[in-house]
Amino acid sequence: MGHLKEDLTYLSNLIGLIYDGATDPSRWSTLILPAICEYLQMPRALLFTPLHTPQEGGYLFNYGHDSARMELYLNQYQQHNLWNQAGLEQQVFFNGNVVIGDEMVPRQTLLESKFYKEWLAHDSHTGQMLGGIVFGMNATQSMPAVCALMRGINEALISKVERDKMRLILPHISRSLGVMQRIRTAELTVASTLSALHNLSTGVLLLTRNGSVAFSNHAAQRMLEEDDGLSLRQLTQKTGRDELVALDAAAHQLIHQEISAALRRDAVATKHFCRSICVPRISQMGSYSLQFSALGNLVEFGADSNEFAAIVFIADDLNKIELNPQFLQNHFGLTPAEARVAITLLELGTAKEVAQTLGVSSLTVRSQIKQVYLKMGVDTRARFVKLMLGLHSSVG
Task: Report the percent of the chain where pLDDT is more than 90.
Answer: 47
Q: What pLDDT does residue 328 have?
A: 86
Q: How far is CA 258 from CA 24, 251, 253, 254, 291, in A?
A: 24, 10, 9, 6, 9
Please check the confidence at residue 118 and state whether its pLDDT lies above 90.
yes
Q: What pLDDT does residue 389 have?
A: 66
Which carries the bigger pLDDT value, residue 251 or residue 323?
A: 251
Last residue of one domain, picked from the residues 148, 182, 216: 182
Residue 390 belongs to some domain of the structure = yes
Give the pLDDT confidence of 358-383 residue by residue, as tens digits: 777 888 888 999 999 999 888 877 77
**Angle (nearest 5°) at CA 101 between 95 and 103:** 90
Please check the confidence at residue 292 and state whether its pLDDT lies above 60.
yes
Among the ranges given (76-80, 231-235, 352-356), the one the predictor scored with the smallest mean pLDDT = 352-356
Last residue of one domain, picked from the residues 131, 155, 182: 182
The reported pTM is 0.75
Please check the confidence at residue 24 and state whether its pLDDT lies above 80.
yes
- What is the mean predicted confidence (pLDDT) over 303-316? 81
H/E run at residue 145: strand 145-151
* Domain residue limits at 55: 2-182
Residue 144's pLDDT band (cuts 50, 70, 90): confident
Q: What pLDDT does residue 396 have?
A: 45
Q: What is the mean pLDDT of the chain?
A: 85
Q: What pLDDT does residue 306 have?
A: 67
Residue 188's pLDDT band (cuts 50, 70, 90): very low
Residue 7 belongs to some domain of the structure = yes
At 342, which CATH number? 1.10.10.10
216-227: b (≥16 Cβ within 10 Å) or e = bbebbeebbeee
Same domain for 293 and 351?
A: no
Please check the confidence at residue 147 and state whether its pLDDT lies above 90.
yes
Last residue of one domain, picked from the residues 253, 287, 319: 319
Residue 187 belongs to some domain of the structure = no
Please check the confidence at residue 184 and state whether its pLDDT lies above 80.
no
Residue 57's pLDDT band (cuts 50, 70, 90): low
Same domain for 50 and 126?
A: yes
Same domain for 178 and 203?
A: no
Q: How far is CA 7 from CA 4, 165, 194, in A?
A: 5, 11, 36
Among the ranges given (24-28, 205-209, 235-239, 341-345), the one the predictor scored with the smallest mean pLDDT = 235-239
Q: What pLDDT does residue 322 have?
A: 60
Q: How many domains does the chain have?
A: 3
Same domain for 371 and 287?
A: no
Same domain for 105 and 209?
A: no
Among the ranges given (160-169, 193-202, 274-283), the one the predictor scored with the smallest mean pLDDT = 193-202
List CB contacts of 149: < 8 A, sequence separation 6 or more: 36, 37, 40, 42, 44, 45, 129, 130, 131, 132, 166
Q: What pLDDT does residue 59 have?
A: 85
Q: What pLDDT does residue 313 have?
A: 93
Residue 189 belongs to some domain of the structure = no
Please check the confidence at residue 395 and state whether its pLDDT lies above 60.
no
- What is the mean predicted confidence (pLDDT) over 249-262? 93
Q: What pLDDT does residue 268 have?
A: 77
Give the pLDDT confidence of 40-51 residue by residue, as tens digits: 999 999 999 887
- What is the mean predicted confidence (pLDDT) over 82-89? 88
Residue 55's pLDDT band (cuts 50, 70, 90): low
Same domain for 42 and 158?
A: yes
Compute the distance between CA of residue 94 and CA of residue 144 in angstroms, rounded to an integer: 9
Half-sphere exposure of 322 (CA within 13 A, CB side): 14
Please check the confidence at residue 236 and state whether its pLDDT lies above 70.
no
Compute the distance between CA of residue 342 and CA of residue 349 in angstroms, rounded to an integer: 10
Same domain for 13 and 149?
A: yes
